[in-house]
């Protein structure tokens, strides 16, 4: 599964335009939203900030078994929008522990942890 999933995302990313992936971020199926977020991060890094909400949602959805992939993409995102991630931490004191930990780990992993 560890090698298969990235291959699946890359294969799927080649089949859709950025606009189709952006539309899929609003898909009713959380698995489809997660795949869209991963693919958009890989295919169009400049549009990756659009995926933040879906990545955080995916961290919380243990039944999808995609939390580790979402966390890895959050770390990539933390390199370009660390202030947005810090703002999410500060703005929501009721954030789930999984989301809070994923954001903090992403910031640390990107070398942009709390100072």
> In the predicted model, is pLDDT for residue 115 greater than 90?
no
Q: Where does the pLDDT of residue 10 fall: very low under 50, low under 70, confident under 90, or very high at 90 and above?
A: low
Q: Which of 79, 80, 103 is nearest to 91 (CA)?
A: 103
Residues 6+ apart with CB under 8 A from 52: 74, 77, 81, 84, 85, 88
At 54, is the secondary structure helix, strand, or coil? helix
At 5, is the secondary structure helix, strand, or coil? helix
Tokens of 12: 């799927």
State pLDDT tens for residues 21-43: 999 999 999 999 999 999 999 99
State pLDDT tens for residues 71-87: 999 998 998 888 988 99
Whole-angstrom distance, CA of residue 71 vs CA of residue 58: 9
Between 113 and 21, the higher pLDDT residue: 21
State pLDDT tens for residues 90-102: 888 888 999 999 9
- pTM (2 d.p.): 0.80
Q: pLDDT over 90 for what percent of the chain? A: 58
Backbone angles phi, psi at 93, to 5 degrees: -70, -15
Tokens of 74: 């959050």
| pLDDT, mean over the chain | 86
């Amino acid at each position: 599964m560890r090698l298969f999933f990235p291959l699946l995302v890359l294969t799927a990313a080649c089949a859709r335009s950025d606009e189709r992936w952006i539309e899929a971020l609003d898909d009713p199926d959380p698995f489809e939203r997660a795949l869209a977020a991963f693919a958009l991060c890989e295919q169009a890094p400049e549009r990756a900030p659009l995926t933040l909400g879906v990545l955080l949602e995916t961290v919380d959805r243990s039944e999808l078994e995609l939390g580790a992939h979402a966390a890895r993409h959050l770390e990539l995102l933390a390199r370009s929008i660390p202030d947005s991630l810090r703002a999410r931490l500060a703005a929501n004191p009721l954030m789930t522990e999984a989301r809070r930990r994923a954001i903090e780990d992403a910031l640390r992993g990107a070398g942009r942890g709390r100072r």
